[in-house]
Chains A and B, each alone.
Chain A
Amino acid sequence: MADETDTHTTSEAEGAYWRDNIRLLVSLMAIWFACSFGAGILFREFLDQFMLGGYPLGFWFAQQGSIYIFIALIVFYVIRMKTLERKYDLDD
Chain B
Amino acid sequence: MDTQTLIYIFVGLSFALYIGIAIWSRAGSTKEFYVAGGGVNPVVNGMATAADWMSAASFISMAGLIAFLGYDASVYLMGWTGGYVLLALLLAPYLRKFGQFTVPDFIGTRYYSKTARVVAVICLIFISFTYIAGQMRGVGIVFSRFLDVQIFWGVIIGMGIVFIYAVLGGMKGITYTQVAQYCVLIFAYMVPAFFLSFMITGNPIPQLGLGSQVNDGSGLYVLQKLNLVLTDLGFGQYTDGSKSMIDVFCITLALMVGTAGLPHVIVRFFTVPKASDARKSAGWALVFIALLYTTAPAVGAFARLNFIDTVNETSYSEAPGWFKNWERNDLIAFQDKNGDGVMQVRSGEAFEGSPEFAAETGPSGERVVTNTPVADSENEVYVDRDIMVLANPEIGNLPGWVIALVAAGGLAAALSTAAGLLLVISSSVSHDLLKSTFKPNISEKGELLAARIAATAAIVVAGYLGIYPPGWVAQVVAFAFGLAAASLFPAIFMGIFSKSMNKEGAIAGMVTGLAFTFGYIFYFKLMSPEANVAENWLFGISPEGIGVVGMVLNFIVAVAVSKVTASPPVEIKKLVDSIRVPRGAGEAHAH
Report A's interface with B, CB cutoff 8 A.
Answer: 4, 7-10, 14, 17-18, 21, 25, 28-29, 32, 36-37, 40-42, 44, 48, 52-56, 59-60, 62-64, 66-68, 70-71, 73-75, 77-78, 81-82, 85, 90-92
**In the complex, are the beta carbons of B211 and A60 less than 8 A apart?**
yes
Stretch of B32-40, B160-168, B280-288 at the chain-chain interface: B280-288
**Candidate in A32, A48, A54, A91 with the most chain B CB atoms within 10 angstroms:** A54
Q: Main SS of the interface on chain A?
A: helix
The distance in angstroms between the C-alpha atoms of A77 and B276, with both chains bound, is 11
Nearest Cβ on chain A to B249's Cβ, whole angstroms: 5
Q: Which residues of A have CB within 8 Å of B580?
A: 14, 18, 21
Q: Which residues of A have CB within 8 Å of B208?
A: 53
**In the complex, are the beta carbons of A91 and B276 less than 8 A apart?**
yes
Stretch of B81-89, B110-118, B140-148, B334-342 at the chain-chain interface: B81-89
Q: Main SS of the interface on chain B?
A: helix
The distance in angstroms between the C-alpha atoms of A55 and B74, with both chains bound, is 14
Write out, one digit per residue, whether chain B residues 259-298 have a CB within 8 A of any chain A CB (1) or not (0). 0000000000000001110011011001100100110010
Picked from A42, A60, A62, the residue with its CB within 8 Å of the CB of B78 is: A62
Nearest Cβ on chain A to B38's Cβ, whole angstroms: 13
The 9 closest A-B pairs by CB, nearest first: A54-B221, A53-B211, A62-B74, A74-B283, A92-B582, A63-B297, A54-B211, A92-B274, A74-B88
Report B's interface with A, CB cutoff 8 A.
Answer: 66, 71, 73-74, 77-78, 81-82, 84-85, 88-90, 207-208, 210-213, 221-224, 239, 245, 248-249, 252-253, 256, 274-276, 279-280, 282-283, 286-287, 290, 293-294, 297, 570, 573-574, 577-578, 580-586
**In the complex, are the beta carbons of B574 and A8 less than 8 A apart?**
yes
Among residues of B, the one whose C-beta sits closest to the C-beta of A74 is B283
**In the complex, are the beta carbons of B583 and A75 less than 8 A apart?**
no
Nearest Cβ on chain B to A68's Cβ, whole angstroms: 7
The distance in angstroms between the C-alpha atoms of A9 and B211, with both chains bound, is 54
**In the complex, are the beta carbons of A70 and B82 less than 8 A apart?**
yes
The distance in angstroms between the C-alpha atoms of A59 and B211, with both chains bound, is 11
The distance in angstroms between the C-alpha atoms of A41 and B245, with both chains bound, is 7
Among residues of B, the one whose C-beta sits closest to the C-beta of A55 is B211
Nearest Cβ on chain B to A59's Cβ, whole angstroms: 5
In addition to A59-B71, A63-B77, A78-B88, 14 A-B residue pairs with Cβ atoms within 8 Å of each other are A17-B581, A36-B256, A48-B239, A54-B212, A55-B211, A62-B74, A63-B71, A66-B77, A66-B78, A67-B78, A74-B283, A74-B286, A92-B275, A92-B583
The distance in angstroms between the C-alpha atoms of A56 and B205, with both chains bound, is 19
Among residues of B, the one whose C-beta sits closest to the C-beta of A75 is B283
Q: Given contacts A37-B252, A91-B582, are A62 and B77 in contact (CB under 8 A)?
A: yes
Nearest Cβ on chain A to B544's Cβ, whole angstroms: 15
**In the complex, are the beta carbons of A42 and B245 less than 8 A apart?**
yes
Nearest Cβ on chain B to A3's Cβ, whole angstroms: 8
**In the complex, are the beta carbons of A67 and B245 less than 8 A apart?**
no
**In the complex, are the beta carbons of A40 and B279 less than 8 A apart?**
no
Q: Which residues of B have CB within 8 Å of A44?
A: 71
The distance in angstroms between the C-alpha atoms of A56 and B223, with both chains bound, is 9
